[in-house]
Amino acid sequence: MSQRASLGLVEAAGRRPPPGHSHHSGGQNSTWMDRIESIVAGVRHAELELVDIRDVERIIGARKSKLYADAATGLFPKPINIGGRMSRWPKHEALAIAAVRVSGGDDDAVRALVVRLMEARATLVTSIFGREG
Protein backbone atom coordinates (compact mmCIF):
# COMPACT_ATOMS: atom_id res chain seq x y z
CA MET A 1 0.00 0.00 0.00
CA SER A 2 1.34 3.37 -0.87
CA GLN A 3 2.01 5.97 1.79
CA ARG A 4 -0.79 8.03 0.26
CA ALA A 5 -3.27 5.13 0.61
CA SER A 6 -2.10 4.57 4.20
CA LEU A 7 -2.74 8.22 5.01
CA GLY A 8 -6.18 7.85 3.44
CA LEU A 9 -7.05 5.18 6.01
CA VAL A 10 -5.98 7.45 8.85
CA GLU A 11 -7.95 10.35 7.38
CA ALA A 12 -11.04 8.16 6.95
CA ALA A 13 -10.88 7.10 10.59
CA GLY A 14 -10.89 10.70 11.78
CA ARG A 15 -13.43 12.06 9.33
CA ARG A 16 -16.97 12.83 10.37
CA PRO A 17 -19.68 11.49 8.06
CA PRO A 18 -21.60 13.97 5.94
CA PRO A 19 -25.06 14.93 7.23
CA GLY A 20 -27.69 12.33 6.41
CA HIS A 21 -25.19 9.53 5.73
CA SER A 22 -25.60 7.59 8.96
CA HIS A 23 -26.66 3.98 8.42
CA HIS A 24 -26.98 3.33 12.12
CA SER A 25 -28.87 5.06 14.88
CA GLY A 26 -27.30 6.01 18.13
CA GLY A 27 -25.00 8.99 18.54
CA GLN A 28 -21.32 8.14 18.96
CA ASN A 29 -21.70 4.54 17.74
CA SER A 30 -23.25 5.93 14.55
CA THR A 31 -20.21 8.11 13.92
CA TRP A 32 -17.79 5.23 14.50
CA MET A 33 -19.78 2.86 12.31
CA ASP A 34 -19.71 5.41 9.50
CA ARG A 35 -15.96 5.83 9.94
CA ILE A 36 -15.50 2.06 9.90
CA GLU A 37 -17.54 1.76 6.70
CA SER A 38 -15.37 4.48 5.15
CA ILE A 39 -12.19 2.64 6.16
CA VAL A 40 -13.47 -0.69 4.82
CA ALA A 41 -14.48 0.97 1.55
CA GLY A 42 -10.91 2.25 1.22
CA VAL A 43 -9.52 -1.18 2.06
CA ARG A 44 -11.42 -2.75 -0.85
CA HIS A 45 -9.29 -0.67 -3.21
CA ALA A 46 -6.00 -1.04 -1.36
CA GLU A 47 -3.07 -3.04 -2.65
CA LEU A 48 -2.85 -6.41 -0.91
CA GLU A 49 0.46 -6.67 0.90
CA LEU A 50 1.03 -9.35 3.52
CA VAL A 51 3.37 -8.46 6.37
CA ASP A 52 4.95 -10.51 9.13
CA ILE A 53 4.64 -10.11 12.88
CA ARG A 54 7.62 -7.74 13.13
CA ASP A 55 5.98 -5.31 10.71
CA VAL A 56 2.66 -5.56 12.54
CA GLU A 57 4.40 -4.92 15.86
CA ARG A 58 5.89 -1.71 14.41
CA ILE A 59 2.58 -0.55 12.93
CA ILE A 60 0.50 -1.22 16.05
CA GLY A 61 3.17 -0.59 18.69
CA ALA A 62 2.46 -3.82 20.56
CA ARG A 63 4.33 -7.09 21.07
CA LYS A 64 3.51 -10.42 19.49
CA SER A 65 1.81 -11.84 22.60
CA LYS A 66 -0.51 -8.81 22.84
CA LEU A 67 -1.43 -9.02 19.14
CA TYR A 68 -2.33 -12.71 19.40
CA ALA A 69 -4.29 -12.07 22.61
CA ASP A 70 -6.17 -9.25 20.86
CA ALA A 71 -6.88 -11.53 17.89
CA ALA A 72 -8.35 -14.10 20.28
CA THR A 73 -10.72 -11.48 21.76
CA GLY A 74 -11.73 -9.81 18.49
CA LEU A 75 -9.57 -6.71 18.93
CA PHE A 76 -7.28 -7.58 16.02
CA PRO A 77 -7.75 -9.63 12.85
CA LYS A 78 -6.60 -13.22 12.95
CA PRO A 79 -3.44 -13.97 10.98
CA ILE A 80 -3.44 -15.75 7.63
CA ASN A 81 -1.47 -18.99 7.62
CA ILE A 82 0.63 -19.05 4.47
CA GLY A 83 2.15 -22.47 5.08
CA GLY A 84 3.70 -24.38 7.92
CA ARG A 85 4.25 -22.10 10.88
CA MET A 86 4.27 -18.91 8.81
CA SER A 87 1.53 -16.35 9.33
CA ARG A 88 0.99 -12.94 7.80
CA TRP A 89 -1.51 -10.09 8.02
CA PRO A 90 -2.77 -7.81 5.29
CA LYS A 91 -0.91 -4.56 5.94
CA HIS A 92 -4.02 -2.46 5.36
CA GLU A 93 -5.77 -4.25 8.25
CA ALA A 94 -3.03 -3.29 10.71
CA LEU A 95 -3.07 0.28 9.37
CA ALA A 96 -6.86 0.45 9.74
CA ILE A 97 -6.71 -0.72 13.38
CA ALA A 98 -3.97 1.83 14.08
CA ALA A 99 -6.05 4.56 12.43
CA VAL A 100 -9.07 3.84 14.63
CA ARG A 101 -6.91 3.79 17.77
CA VAL A 102 -5.10 7.01 16.85
CA SER A 103 -8.40 8.77 16.24
CA GLY A 104 -9.72 7.77 19.66
CA GLY A 105 -11.67 4.60 18.91
CA ASP A 106 -12.56 2.44 21.89
CA ASP A 107 -12.58 -1.38 22.02
CA ASP A 108 -16.14 -1.55 20.65
CA ALA A 109 -15.13 0.50 17.61
CA VAL A 110 -12.09 -1.70 17.04
CA ARG A 111 -14.15 -4.90 17.36
CA ALA A 112 -16.66 -3.56 14.84
CA LEU A 113 -13.81 -2.74 12.45
CA VAL A 114 -12.30 -6.22 12.88
CA VAL A 115 -15.65 -7.81 12.01
CA ARG A 116 -15.88 -5.68 8.84
CA LEU A 117 -12.26 -6.41 7.89
CA MET A 118 -12.84 -10.16 8.23
CA GLU A 119 -16.00 -9.84 6.12
CA ALA A 120 -13.97 -7.94 3.51
CA ARG A 121 -11.42 -10.78 3.48
CA ALA A 122 -14.18 -13.31 2.81
CA THR A 123 -15.60 -11.11 0.04
CA LEU A 124 -12.16 -10.80 -1.54
CA VAL A 125 -11.67 -14.58 -1.56
CA THR A 126 -15.14 -15.08 -3.02
CA SER A 127 -14.52 -12.50 -5.75
CA ILE A 128 -11.20 -14.13 -6.71
CA PHE A 129 -12.09 -17.80 -6.43
CA GLY A 130 -15.87 -17.76 -6.64
CA ARG A 131 -16.21 -19.41 -3.23
CA GLU A 132 -15.45 -18.76 0.42
CA GLY A 133 -11.97 -19.81 1.49
- Residue pLDDT, tens place only, 73-108: 999 999 999 999 999 999 999 999 999 999 899 999
Average pLDDT over residues 15-21: 40
Q: What pLDDT is recorded for position 11? A: 45
Q: How many residues does the chain have?
A: 133
For Cα atoms 115, 13, 27, give the angle at the middle one, nearest 5 degrees: 80
CA dist list (Å): 48 to 55, 59, 89, 103, 121:
15, 16, 10, 24, 11
What pLDDT was estimated at residue 5? 42
> 130: which DSSP letter?
S
Residue 133: predicted pLDDT? 52
